[in-house]
Structures are given as structure tokens and as C-alpha cells.
Amino acid sequence: MAVLTTSFTFYFWQIFKTPNLQLEAERSFALLIPEGASYESVIDTLQKNEVINDEISFRFVAKLLNYPERVKAGRYLIKPDATNYTVVQKLREGNQDAVRLTFNNIRLKNELIERIGPRFEFGEKKFREALSDPALAQKYGLDTTTIMSMFLPNTYDIYWNVGTERFLDRMHSEYQKFWSDERKAKAKAINLTPGQVSILASIVEEEQARKPDERPKVAGMYINRLQTGMPLQADPTVKFALGDFAIKRILTAQLLTPSPYNTYLNKGLPPTPINSPGAKALEAALAPAAGDWIYFITIDKQGHSLFTSSYEEFLAAKAKAKRDGVY
């Protein structure tokens, strides 16, 4: 009897405490359980991905912990050499692992949809529908063309099975958190709304990709143009109008491209941001450097720029930059 008891004790210890979910070293498996999924579908997913080593022992522990009746949707990371008990307990309690979402350099709504949609249960189709819903955009004080300004580039931890509207609520919450009373006051001081600041910041983001420390000067230059009624003449807006972001040098004919985004043909800011500007570009737009310059030009291959109020100095710097092979 003592031998039998010892054998059973060892068996129970083994199925509970020894590794049974075999994965490659340093590689976790993300188990995705959709809303309404059954216990058998969870087992099927684990089998298809060859995660379970001994299915019988896993089922035994799951049954003992009443997991078949307590399946919870979500994303669960299973670590290498995890035990039956560790995994079943995690699944039963619904202890999800959030998706770490990072995005930046998004120019078009389609890019945003393709970057974010597949990371969550709602997928690209539902995300596209949500971003195209006028009533939903209005909920956030935006429209379907400006809703992208709500997505501030950053890193976010969000649960995989979050619904589309709850996801948008989270993005709007982060947007509101950024637009504190202090930042709204800064926007008002330069006669811009938060939405207009986002548009200006998107241009600054594109202009100073190589020299971020010059962003406040670029913002100041464009503010000066806005205040004096000059066209912004921002090359990034022409690239956006053309839909070609790989252009290195814009030709004179391309400056005539008819589009509300072409700031060579239209005065003022374009109708929407031309990308999702990061916090540093937004801060630069909110705190533009003081100066009387209305021209700027890249003067060396390292990306440094000359800022000036003199058109003659601008032309001279441009000619020298061409001789030096900058353009």
C-alpha cells in the first residue's frame, strides 16, 4: 500500500509540476482564444501548434481545476517548459498578456489599419469600418479624415480581445491626456487649435527626420509664414499630394500638382496631418523657436539647415549646397 501511495503521489506531482508544454528555448507561444471559444478549440490550437507534449495529463489537470467550464477569451503567453498547472491556472483565471503595440511614421489611414488591425481580435475589416464611421469619429470631436490625429505614436499595452470602440476610447484617452490645459494654452498663444498643431507637427516631423534638434526652428519658420500670409511651400505636403514618399527631389512640374495638400498652391495648413506626428514634433510645434526667418534650406550632407529672413541669402545657400552635392 505504501508503494502504491508513493507511486500515485509521484504521478500527481509529475503531471502538475513537471514541464509538459514543450517550446523552443527563449520562445513563448501566444495562445489566442477568441470570444465564445470552447475548451476543445483551445486543446485543438495547442495540438496544432505542437505545444502540448502529453495531452492526457493536460486534460486531467484542466478537468481537476474545472477549466473546461471556465474558458476565458484573450491572449496568453505560454513560456518554454511550462507546467500543466501553471498554464491551466493562468487560462482559468483569465490572466491575459497584453499586446505591446508600438507605432510611428504612419502617413495614411490604410497604413494605420494594416499596422494595427492584425494585432487584435477585431482585425483589419472592423478597424477600417470603425475609422470610416462618421458617428464614431464625431464622438471624439473629429471626422473620418482627421481621426488619425488621435493616434499619438508611442508604445501601448492593450489586451488582444479589446473591441474596436474600446480601443478607440483608449487612443482618445491618451490623446486627451496629451492635450492638457497647459498645452491647449500654448496652442492658443500661437493662434492654432490642437488639430492645427497636429497638422503643423506632421510637417515638422517630415522636414526634420535627420536633425530633430532643429524642429523648433522649422516650426517657428512655418508659424512666421502662416502669420504673414505666405504659402507654407512645404515639400512634404507635395509628396503627400503625389502619394510618393520616396521622392528625393521634387521637380518644378510636381509643385503644380492640384491637391488641397499642395501648400505651394494653397495658403495655410493642409486639411489634415500628413502623418502621425510624435510627441517631440508636437512639442516643437507648440513651442516654436523665436526668430524672423521665413526661409530654410539644408546646407550639408549631415542635414544641417540655414534659417534666414533674406531671400538672397537663401538663394546663395541653395546654390552652394548644389555645388557641394547636397542636392
Cα–Cα separations (whole angstroms), residue 162 to 86, 157, 169, 308:
24, 11, 10, 50
> What's the domain range around 109?
99-178
Are residues 158 and 248 located together in one domain of the fold?
no
Tell me the CATH number at 39. 3.30.1490.480
Are residues 126 and 206 located together in one domain of the fold?
no
**Please, how many CA atoms are within 13 Å of residue 142, restricted to the half-sphere of its CB?**
28
Helix (H) or strand (E) holding 297: strand 295-298
Is 244 part of a structural domain of the chain? yes
Tens of pLDDT along the chain (327 residues) come to: 444 344 444 455 455 555 666 655 567 899 999 999 999 999 999 999 888 888 888 898 999 999 999 999 999 999 888 888 999 999 999 999 999 999 888 889 999 999 999 999 999 999 999 999 999 999 999 999 899 889 999 999 999 999 999 999 999 999 999 999 999 999 999 999 999 999 999 999 988 766 788 999 999 999 999 999 999 999 999 999 998 888 878 888 999 999 999 999 999 999 999 999 988 999 999 999 999 999 998 888 888 888 999 999 988 888 887 887 777
* pLDDT value of residue 66: 94
Q: Which residues contact 262 (CB under 8 A, 6 or more apart)?
A: 237, 238, 241, 255
What is the full DSSP assignment across 180-241? Answer: -HHHHHHHHHTT--HHHHHHHHHHHHHHTSS-GGGHHHHHHHHHHHHHHT-----HHHHHHH
Q: How many helices (H) and strands (E) does the chain have?
A: 14, 8
Is 260 part of a structural domain of the chain? yes
Are residues 190 and 165 located together in one domain of the fold?
no
**Of 69, 93, 117, which closes a domain?**
93
Note whether 20 and 84 are within 8 A (CB). Answer: yes
Q: Which residues contact 20 (CB under 8 A, 6 or more apart)?
A: 52, 53, 54, 57, 58, 82, 83, 84
Measure the CA dihedral 230/236/240/246, to 10°: 150
pLDDT in tens, 110-145: 999 999 999 999 999 999 999 999 999 999 999 998
Are residues 132 and 186 located together in one domain of the fold?
no
Domain count, the chain: 3
Is 129 part of a structural domain of the chain? yes
Are residues 104 and 77 located together in one domain of the fold?
no
Are residues 166 and 226 located together in one domain of the fold?
no
Is 9 part of a structural domain of the chain? no
* pLDDT value of residue 22: 63
Q: Give the whole-angstrom CA distance, residue 241 versus residue 244.
A: 8
Are residues 190 and 287 located together in one domain of the fold?
yes
Are residues 128 and 195 located together in one domain of the fold?
no
Are residues 202 and 241 located together in one domain of the fold?
yes
Whether the model pTM is above 0.75: yes
Are residues 174 and 211 located together in one domain of the fold?
no
C-alpha cell at 200: 503643423
* pLDDT value of residue 10: 44
Are residues 226 and 209 located together in one domain of the fold?
yes
pLDDT in tens, 177-193: 999 999 999 999 999 99
Are residues 287 and 200 located together in one domain of the fold?
yes
Phi, psi at 289, each rounded to 5°: -65, 145
**Of 178, 203, 222, which closes a domain?**
178
**Of 75, 93, 111, which closes a domain?**
93
